[in-house]
Structure 1
Amino acid sequence: MSSLILSLDVSTTGTGWAIYGGSTLLQSGVSKPKQKSFYERAKAMASELKTIQLRAIQRHDKPFESIVIEQNTVMGPNQQTSIKIGIATGVILGRLLAEDIYFVNVSTWRKYWKFSYKDRSKKSMKKQAVDTVSVEFKKQVKDDEADAILIGSYFVNLGKDFGDLESHRN
């Protein structure tokens, strides 16, 4: 098995994550701490994800080669939310280990999975992610975890070969 890859769907309330060994999904979940401020939640998510990462390194005896994160270039509900997600992402990445960090645009991985854009609502996109994971991975998950699984699968199966992924070396 090749090195490990961590896929993240970061938000201010909960972060979906998935760990891949090569193109195989090894485990996934959601970090959803209860702290009141988004900054405290981000710190708690970072600590939890660091623990998950260290356990995976120990269990699989492999290092983390890459972290892949959804990059949403469209402004969220408002500019403040987008800024908070950026801060949360920075806090989380500051605690994690990987040789490379990649950002993949939300529309890129959704196109790969052939999402329908007839209804562009957040609810429709989240439902499509959950349904796709149910069919493709035979796994019942919530939307944040589904997004992380699909982002990671896109990356390990196709995305890493494309030059349109933005890479930042640690």
Structure 2
Amino acid sequence: MKSLTLSLDISTTATGWALFEGSDLVESGVFKHKSKSFFERGRFMASELRAIQSRALQKYDCHFKSIVVEKNSVMGPNQQSMISIGIVTGIILGRLVADNVYFVNVSTWRKYWKFSYKDRSKKSMKMQAVAKVSDGFNLNVKDDEADAILIGSYFVNHGQEFGDLESHKVS
């Protein structure tokens, strides 16, 4: 029996998501909200993702085995930004249901997808993600959605085999 995996590229302004049935990408997207409050944006994204899970459970008639989240160990622009991202991640994960939550280091999935590090800028990394999704999945998506797709695809196809993923049993 196949199971569902939801992969997330969480930020305080936009969250990219991708839904996999087994190893097949079945849906993806990005959620943004215009509120000036990161807390309100986080609540909105959590609510929308919960609705996606509910619809997927009905549509695919199987359970959510995993939620996969990018774990970025690099300090953001400042300490307050990192705290805000942690809070939003908690809000989102608190609303979702899965057997396990896995955190994948950004360097791990980018290494798997053979990202070039000649230019390490955020812009270059985002452009590479969009190009890899265009080439590998024949999709034209924005950068947050591209990251979620690549994170999820790495996980469902290869990530579970490796012991360097941080995982937490939810149920």
Query: Which aligned pairs between 1:146-157 and structure 2 lie closer than 5 A?
Result: 146-157=146-157
Provide the C-alpha distance between the structure 1 equivalents of 2:127 and 2:76, rounded to a whole number of angstroms.
18
Distance between the aligned counterparts of 1:105 and 1:83, measured in 2? 18
- The question of 1:166 aligning with 2:160 is answered no
Aligned to 2:128: 128
So what's the TM-score if we normalise by structure 2? 0.98
* CA distance, structure 2, for counterparts of residue 66 and residue 75 of structure 1: 26
Segments ≥4 residues shifted beyond 3 Å: none
Instruction: Write the distance in 1 (CA, Å) between the matches of 2:128 and 2:83.
Output: 26
Distance in 1 separating the partners of 2:61 and 2:34? 32
**CA deviation after TM superposition for structure 1 residue 34, in Å:** 1.6
Deviation at 1:166, TM superposition (A): 0.4
TM-score, length-scaled by structure 1 = 0.99
Aligned-pair Cα RMSD in Å: 0.6
* 2:93 corresponding residue in structure 1: 93
Q: Distance in 2 between matches of 1:164 and 1:147?
A: 19
Structure 1 position 78, deviation (Å): 1.1
CA distance in 2 between counterparts of 1:63 and 1:34 reads 32
Give the structure 1 partner of residue 143 of structure 2: 143
Partner residue, 2:7: 7
Amino acid at match of 1:18: A
1:16 matched residue in structure 2: 16
Q: Distance in 1 between matches of 2:122 and 2:169?
A: 31
Secondary structure of 1:34's counterpart equals coil
- TM superposition shift of 1:35: 1.5
Unaligned runs of 5+ in 1: none
Following superposition, the deviation at residue 50 of structure 1 comes to 0.2
1:11 aligns to what SS in structure 2? coil
Aligned residue number for residue 58 of structure 1: 58
Unaligned residue ranges in structure 2 (runs of 5+):
none
What corresponds to 2:112 in structure 1? 112
